[in-house]
Amino acid sequence: MGRCALEVADIFRTCGPAWRQAQQGHLSVGQLKVMSAIEQCRSAALGGHVLRCNGCDHVEIAYNSCRNRHCPKCQAKAAQRWLEARQADLLPVEYYHVVFTLPAPISEIAYTNKAVIYRLLFEVAADTLQTIAADPKHLGAEIGATLVLHTWGSALTHHPHVHGIVPGGGLSLDGERWVSCRPGFFLSVRVLSRLFRRRFLEALAQAHQAGQLKFFGEHARLADATAFARWLAPLSKCEWVVYAKRPFAGPAAVLAYLSRYTHRVAISNRRLVALDERGVTFRWKDYRIRGRTRHKTMTV
């Protein structure tokens, strides 16, 4: 993409002052900080350094980055670095793409208990994979995995799930040799799903007992231990979806897919089309319409 492509920073610099004036009193310090970071990122305001080639005296000025979590410029770079580092980790073996999903009722209470439930989701998914893989009845090896949390489904509903990229084998328990899984078959999803369900429900009950869960609105009654236990009971009977398959396009393609989410920002620079007297025009995707590449232009 060319250097003169429109960026969120350009919009903030052009329209930010008037917008902040209009929104006075409605913006948090955090929001103002993000705007300021994005406006100043890689501009003289943040300082920088001058690079000079000793051979030809060519001079280049490199301005410092803001490194803000919400900056599209910084996060696109960070996503690229993350992807390169993960791809460098890949071993020359078969890989499996695994997904651990929480049932809908738990997703609902996760919305107001993000820190506790997201942490449990990560821990229990990792623990389930390691436990089943280490069991000699299954693989009998110590495995490693890269796990990525997704909190929204494609229908833009709160839908926490964890994606994993896992080599189809691991180190023998004495650490002496590589143990491969059967070609095309990693671990039984049924076995993974059962253990994931049991461990997650145990951990969730413990978190409730420890007073770590908060309930609001229609869920307020679940603060009571008996009501919570009654609510939890049917979840130990329903199916918990675990997916484990060899990715068609190989592990690198899955990592590339995941990297688009690991450093996500509200709107990336490449979706911006124009800034003019009518407003900002950007591309968007209507998820209610089937098909993955449909884009529209919206003027606001």
Residues at the site binding Zn ion, with contacts judged by CB under 5 A: 41, 65-66, 71, 73-74, 150
Residue among 73 and 97 whose Cβ is closer to Zn ion: 73
Shortest separation between residue 39's beta carbon and Zn ion, angstroms: 10
Q: Tell me the β-bridge partners of 49.
A: 62
For residue 237 the two structure tokens come to: 């009977």
d(CA 9, CA 272): 11
For residue 190 the two structure tokens come to: 């049924």
For residue 92 the two structure tokens come to: 């020359």
The 3-state DSSP composition of the chain as helix, strand, coil percent (nearest 5) reads 45, 20, 35
Shortest separation between residue 150's beta carbon and Zn ion, angstroms: 3
Shortest separation between residue 121's beta carbon and Zn ion, angstroms: 12
Residue among 71 and 272 whose Cβ is closer to Zn ion: 71
DSSP secondary structure string for all residues of 205-223 = HHHHHTT-----GGGGGGG
Sign of the CA dihedral running 225, 226, 231, 234: positive
Shortest separation between residue 68's beta carbon and Zn ion, angstroms: 5
Shortest separation between residue 142's beta carbon and Zn ion, angstroms: 26
Count helices and strands in the chain by DSSP H and E runs? 8, 12
Residue among 66 and 83 whose Cβ is closer to Zn ion: 66
Shortest separation between residue 55's beta carbon and Zn ion, angstroms: 31
Residue among 66 and 165 whose Cβ is closer to Zn ion: 66
Shortest separation between residue 96's beta carbon and Zn ion, angstroms: 15
Residue among 66 and 254 whose Cβ is closer to Zn ion: 66
End-to-end CA distance of the chain: 24
16: left (phi over 0), alpha (psi -120 to 50) or beta: alpha
Residue among 45 and 298 whose Cβ is closer to Zn ion: 45
Shortest separation between residue 199's beta carbon and Zn ion, angstroms: 21
Nearest one of 35, 85, 138, 143 to 262, comparing CA atoms: 85
For 168-293, list the strands marked E by DSSP. Answer: 169-172, 178-180, 242-245, 272-276, 279-284
d(CA 158, CA 3): 36
Residue among 74 and 181 whose Cβ is closer to Zn ion: 74
Residue among 130 and 151 whose Cβ is closer to Zn ion: 151
